Structure 1
Amino acid sequence: MYTLMVADDHPLFRDALCAVIDAGLPGCQLLQADSLSAALQQAEGREDLDLLLLDLGLPDSEGLAGLTRLRATYPQLPVAIISAEQDRRIVLDAIGQGAVGYIPKSTPRAALLDALTHMLAGQVYLPPDIMRRPPTTPARRQPEAAISAHISSLTEKQREVLALMVRGHSNKRIARELDIAETTVKTHVSAILRKLSVTSRVQAIVAASDWTSPNG
């Protein structure tokens, strides 16, 4: 079964989260750390560690610095952020820096377990409620002219698909909302990646994170 680590400096939250995981994913081995240094120490030599859930407010780390250090020290270790912070820009910055997901601490139990299941299966999890919010500040990762050229090369349907991707929708939900087949969505996503000159869905979301469809 899976091995997960919860790195959070609040014992009550840490214990509660572990209890939810233990009940929802029976058989998981759970490790706990109350600081970044403790997480780094426990992760050493643990090739069986499948996922590390990292709080952004650890006492010996600030913001995404802990994620950066973990990624540099253990580049093969999947790290997901679990935080009370719900700023859309921070979510995208975390994903851009290599996090495999971002889980708000307000996430309901069922959604939390669903997020963990997705990440343990090798998928990236983005919180839909946060991703549906409009961006508060633009933060383009490519020159504005380049992004405009990429976006203008998309068909109208591809722009609709991209807008829903940015909001954190899955292919299945995109297919349902646009009333098209899921295989058609996959074809559009492949075309979007090619036209945006990126290699993954996450890169496409980050590249277009401050772009919204003219239709809203």
Structure 2
Amino acid sequence: MEPCRVLVIEDHALVREALVRALEQLDRTCEHAQAGCAADAMALIESGHEFDLILTDLMLPDMSGFSLLSILAHRFPAVPVVVVSALADEASVKRALKAGAAGFISKTLSSGELVAAIRAVLRGQMVTPDFDAPAPVMQRVVRRRGIDSLSEQYGLTAAQTRVMELMVEGRTNREIADLLGLAEGTIKVHCSAILRALGVPNRAQALVVLARQGLRA
């Protein structure tokens, strides 16, 4: 397995070190780079460094993390960006996802939970705080068993996969839109693409196909 290249964007040195230690505890080799601000991060990316994952805080000294998310999503859409922040309230999480984040990890997690969350992200899973769980904030891995292979099998994008996961949970288009911070029309487009990929005419049959392959609520 090739090393995973990760960029950590965090202005506090102690937090950066904690994230690097978490990367070192994973079950795969991770090559990492560090940046203390958005400008340094962009300089690394624009100099030709390629990354498989970016971890960023929202509170950066030179730019709002939400603005950085939008820039990265527009200029480097193929690189997933996951927020690691103490601002883990529901409004901030939704805003980050709407700006282009592929996930959200709370800084309130223990070191073991942080490692588990990053491991899930590197497997392609979408991790967000579970606002239905009691404090402290727990992590919710949305993807079900076998989602990685199914996503690859059907050629789904990351956004389509997230929508498919929530479809499996029985969520309506409106609920999915609210959870992901997207327009309901965008969700309908993703749903149509999922149905085409699965080769079925409607959502009910799509759920049957997915259930047969291990995806159940």
Q: TM-score, normalised by structure 1?
A: 0.62
- CA shift, 1:39, in A, is 0.8
User: Is it true that 1:41 corresponds to 2:43 in the alignment?
Assistant: yes
Amino acid paired to 2:41: A
Equivalent-residue separation in structure 2 for 1:187 and 1:39 (angstroms): 31
Amino acid paired to 2:49: R
- CA shift, 1:53, in A, is 0.5
Kept in 1: contact 2:6–2:54 (CA 8 A): yes
Equivalent-residue separation in structure 1 for 2:80 and 2:7 (angstroms): 11
SS in 2 for 1:9: coil
2:18 paired residue among 16, 26, 43: 16
Residue equivalent to 2:179: 205
Equivalent-residue separation in structure 2 for 1:187 and 1:5 (angstroms): 27
Q: 1:3 to 1:169 in 2, by over 3 A?
A: closer
Q: More relative contact order in 1 or in 2 (CA 8 Å, sep 6+)?
A: 1
SS in 1 for 2:25: helix
User: Is it true that 1:132 corresponds to 2:128 in the alignment?
Assistant: no
Q: 1:25 to 1:203 in 2, by over 3 A?
A: farther
User: Is it true that 1:118 corresponds to 2:96 in the alignment?
Assistant: no
SS in 2 for 1:53: strand
Equivalent-residue separation in structure 1 for 2:73 and 2:166 (angstroms): 31
Q: 1:109 to 1:192 in 2, by over 3 A?
A: same
Kept in 2: contact 1:5–1:53 (CA 8 A): yes
Residue equivalent to 1:79: 81
Where do 5+ consecutive residues of structure 2 fail to align?
146-163, 183-217
- CA shift, 1:69, in A, is 1.5
1:120-173 CA-to-partner distances (Å, cap 9, x unmatched) read 122211122xx2279xxxxxxxxxxxxxxxxxxxxxxxxxxxxxxxx9464769
Equivalent-residue separation in structure 2 for 1:39 and 1:127 (angstroms): 25
Residue equivalent to 2:167: 189
- CA shift, 1:28, in A, is 0.9
CA RMSD of aligned residues (A): 3.1
Equivalent-residue separation in structure 2 for 1:115 and 1:34 (angstroms): 22
Amino acid paired to 1:120: L
Residue equivalent to 2:9: 7
Amino acid paired to 1:100: A
- CA shift, 1:5, in A, is 1.0
Which structure 2 residues correspond to residues 90-105 of structure 1 after superposition, within 5 A?
90-105=92-107
Kept in 2: contact 1:132–1:168 (CA 8 A): no
Equivalent-residue separation in structure 2 for 1:32 and 1:169 (angstroms): 26
Equivalent-residue separation in structure 1 for 2:165 and 2:13 (angstroms): 46
Where do 5+ consecutive residues of structure 1 fail to align?
135-166, 174-185, 209-216
- Count of matched residue positions in the alignment of Structure 1 and Structure 2: 157
- CA shift, 1:207, in A, is 6.1
Percentage identity across paired residues of the two chains = 29
SS in 2 for 1:126: strand
Rg larger for: 1
Amino acid paired to 2:112: A
